[in-house]
Amino acid sequence: MNWSRWFRCESSFGLLLVPSQPGIFALAEEVAQPSGPNSRRMLAVFEVDEADDLSRTMSRLFASGSPWRAKMEQSRCYVRYAVAPGMADRHAAAAALKNWLHSQREAASQIFEKHSAKPELKTIAERAVDRVTQGVRLGKAVPAGF
């Protein structure tokens, strides 16, 4: 699959160039900003879904009934997509990415439970960085091409 680049998802106007074609998309929150010339932004994926019409479905993320609207208004969220005209390909890719995301959430919850005895509270960004760091130590990586 040919994925688009990650781009900032600030409003539905930012999605004007998203094609009206079937495909899959991923939403992520920025958990670490670049701090130097060679550093990179770090994103934590929080949703993967498929759509019959990427443009329409992604624009609905900003609708008043959307479960992700508040999150996207409160934090720096990014999106990327891949056009997948074949229904079987779209379902398979979305299912694989959802399974990967679910496994990362389980690993993150186990890590958080180990550290829950500490009295200090961590921010969402700190927990996300811990998840990514722990995943790297365990040899888990993001699926190829993602």
Per-residue pLDDT band at 119 (split at 50, 70, 90): very low
The single residue listed with the structure tokens 């299912």 is: 95
What DSSP assignment string belongs to 69-97? HHHHHHS-EEEEEEE--SHHHHHHHHHHH
| Cα-Cα end-to-end distance for the chain | 9
Query: What does the pLDDT read at residue 3?
Result: 93
* φ and ψ of 116, to 5 deg: -70, -15
The pTM assigned to this predicted structure is 0.67
Q: How confident is the model at residue 117 (pLDDT cuts 50, 70, 90)?
A: very low
Q: φ and ψ at 16, to 5 degrees?
A: -60, -25
Sign of CA pseudo-dihedral 64, 85, 1, 133? positive
**SS3 of residue 115 by DSSP:** helix
What percent of the chain has a predicted confidence (pLDDT) above 70?
A: 71
Q: How confident is the model at residue 121 (pLDDT cuts 50, 70, 90)?
A: low
Instruction: List alpha helices for 27-83, DSSP H.
Output: 54-59, 69-74
Q: Give the CA diameter of the chain.
A: 50
pLDDT tens for 60-107 read 888 888 877 777 777 888 899 999 999 999 999 999 998 888 887 776
Given pLDDT bands bounded at 50, 70 and 90, which one contains residue 53?
very high
Give residue 3's identity as a one-letter amino acid code.
Answer: W
Residue 4 confidence class, pLDDT cut points 50, 70, 90: very high
Average pLDDT in the chain: 78
Residue-range domain boundaries for the chain: 7-137
CA dihedral (67, 106, 132, 100) in degrees, to 10, reads -80
pLDDT of residue 103: 83
Q: Does domain 7-137 have CATH number 3.40.50.300?
A: no
